[in-house]
Amino acid sequence: MAKDKTTFTCTECGGTSPRWLGKCPACGAWNTLVETVTEASAGKNRLSTPQGYAGAAHAQAVTPLAAIEAQDVARTPSGIEELDRVLGGGVVEGGVVLIGGDPGIGKSTLLLQAMDALQRAGLPTLYVTGEESGAQVALRSRRLGIDGSQVQLLAEIQLEKILATVDATQPAVVVIDSIQTTYSDQLTSAPGSVAQVRECAAHLTRMAKGTGIAVILVGHVTKEGALAGPRVLEHMVDTVLYFEGDTHSQFRMVRAIKNRFGAVNEIGVFAMTEKGLKGVSNPSAIFLSQHSEPVPGSCVMVTLEGTRPLLVEIQALVDSGGPSPRRLSVGLDKDRLAMLLAVLHRHAGVACMDQDVFVNAVGGVRISEPAADLAVMLSITSSLRGKALPRGFLAFGEVGLAGEVRPAPRGQERLKEAAKLGFSVAVVPKANAPKRPIEGLSIHAVERVEEAMNVVREMG
C-alpha cells in the first residue's frame, strides 16, 4: 500500500498547500492551514460523467426509512449513578464520549473509578494514559481504594500502537487520557495541535464504530473555555460531557452538552473527597450559602437544567465605581448582565450607571438559562439599596427587553422543590403561578419587572 501523504488544508476556504504557510494562498486568511492526511489512492479512479463533473463512485441502493430496523442501543451502566445519568443510562456499545474540563478538576479520577466499576461488572476495560505514568495511575488507584483493580493499563501516546493494542486485547471500553497527548506518526505536526487531535479522534471514532468498542476521550479546556483546538471534536463524537465547578469547592458537576443517546443539559453532581468522587444524589440545596440572617445582595432561584431542580443563590455587589464602572459575572452570562442592567434602568428606574456591579452564582455552578434574570435583578436592587430580601424568599423568570417577565419551563416543579426545602415566599412569572396553592409557599405572580420590584418593596 502506498504511504499516505499529508497536505495542509485551509479551514476557511478548503484550499490546499503542500507545506505549512502562515497565510492561505487561496483566500488569504491567516493561521487557517491545518495538516491533513490524503490517502495515496484517492483520485485514481475518477470517472467523467456526461453531466461534466468527476465522480469516483457508482450510485448506491437507497432504503425507505420504515424498512430499516431500529435497534435499541445496548448500554451498560457504570454503576456510578451520577455519571450514568449524564451518559443517558450508561456506556453505549460503539459510542464515543468526549469529556472535557479544566486540569485537576477530576477527569482522570472519575474515569478510573468508572473503569474499575465496569471491570467489576464484567466488562473488559483498557485505560490508556498519556499524561501520567503507570506508577502515577497506580498511586491514584491506591488513594481511591481500588488497588486490587483488574483495569488494564497502557502508558502510550502513539495512536498506531494504541490501535494495535486495542485490536489485540479487545476491550469493551477504552479511555484515552488525553486526546491532546496522543499523536499519529502519519502527521508531522506536534501532539496537541489541531491536526493531530482531529486526526487521532477521527481514527478512534472510526475504530469505535467499526468494532462496537466504546471510547471515552479526555480533552483539555483552554483558558478561553473551549476544548483545546478542536471544537471540531464536538461534532465527531456522540456525547460531550463537561466538568464544571470551582476547584476550590468540593462540588463538581458533569454536564451533558450533547448526547446522541440521551438528554442534554443533564447534570451529574459529585463531591471530591479524599477517596475520590462521590455522587451527590440529592443536590438541590448544595448551592445555597448558609446565612444565619438574610443579607443584602442575595436572592435564591430554582434552576432546572436537566431533570432535577437545583436551588442556587445569586449574589450581587453594587458599589460606587470609577469613571468606567465594571460589570463582572461569575457563573452567569456577562452580556446578559449588561442587558438586565439596561432593563432595570429603563423599566424600573433603578440606575447603576456609576456603580461597579458584580454578580456570582454561589458554589461554582454555571447557569445558562434565562430564568435566572429575575433573581439577578432582585439581588442587584437589594445590594444597591442595602436591604435584604425576606427570609425564605426566592424568584425566577426570564426578563425581556420590554420589561416583561416571561415564564420558565416547568415552573410547578421548581416551586414544589423550593417548598420542600422550606422556602416560603416566591416571586414568579404569571404563567408559572400554580392553579392550586402549594403548601407553605406564598406566591406573587408578576407580568412586568416593575411589578416585581414593587412586590418586593412592599415586603419591607
Angle value at C-alpha 267, between 266 and 271, nearest 5 degrees? 165
Tell how far CA 228 is from the center of its chain. 14
Under 8 Å CB-to-CB from 294, ≥6 apart: which residues?
Answer: 388, 389, 390, 391, 393
Q: Contact, 159 vs 200, CB < 8 A?
A: yes
CB-nearest residue to Mg ion: 108
- Residues numbered 65-104 forming contacts with ligand TYD, rule: CB under 6 A: 101, 103-104
Angle value at C-alpha 87, between 82 and 90, nearest 5 degrees? 85
Pick the closest to residue 126 from 88, 101, 156 (CA basis): 156
Q: Contact, 233 vs 201, CB < 8 A?
A: yes
- Taking the least distance from each CB to ligand TYD, the nearer of 82 and 417 is 82
Pick the closest to residue 276 from 109, 138, 129, 136 (CA basis): 109
Binding flag, residue 108, ligand TYD (CB under 6 A):
yes
Rounded least distance, CB 307 to ligand TYD, Å: 25
User: Would you list the DSSP string of 233-270?
Assistant: HHHHSSEEEEEES-TTSSEEEEEEEEETTS-SS-EEEE
Answer with the entry of Mg ion, ligand TYD, none that 52 interacts with (C-beta below 5 to 8 A by kind): none
Rounded least distance, CB 141 to ligand TYD, Å: 8
Binding flag, residue 143, ligand TYD (CB under 6 A):
yes
Rounded least distance, CB 366 to ligand TYD, Å: 17
Stretch that binds Mg ion, among 108-116, 376-384, 432-440, 442-450 (CB under 5 A): 108-116
- Taking the least distance from each CB to ligand TYD, the nearer of 109 and 329 is 109
Pick the closest to residue 189 from 31, 35, 298 (CA basis): 35
Binding flag, residue 106, ligand TYD (CB under 6 A):
yes
- Taking the least distance from each CB to Mg ion, the nearer of 108 and 379 is 108
- Residues numbered 144-183 forming contacts with ligand TYD, rule: CB under 6 A: 144
- Taking the least distance from each CB to ligand TYD, the nearer of 183 and 270 is 270
Rounded least distance, CB 142 to Mg ion, Å: 16
Binding flag, residue 276, ligand TYD (CB under 6 A):
yes
One of 6, 32, 78, 108 touching Mg ion (CB under 5 A): 108
Q: Contact, 39 vs 1, CB < 8 A?
A: no
**Given the rule CB under 6 A, which residues bind ligand TYD?**
101, 103-109, 140, 143-144, 272, 274-276
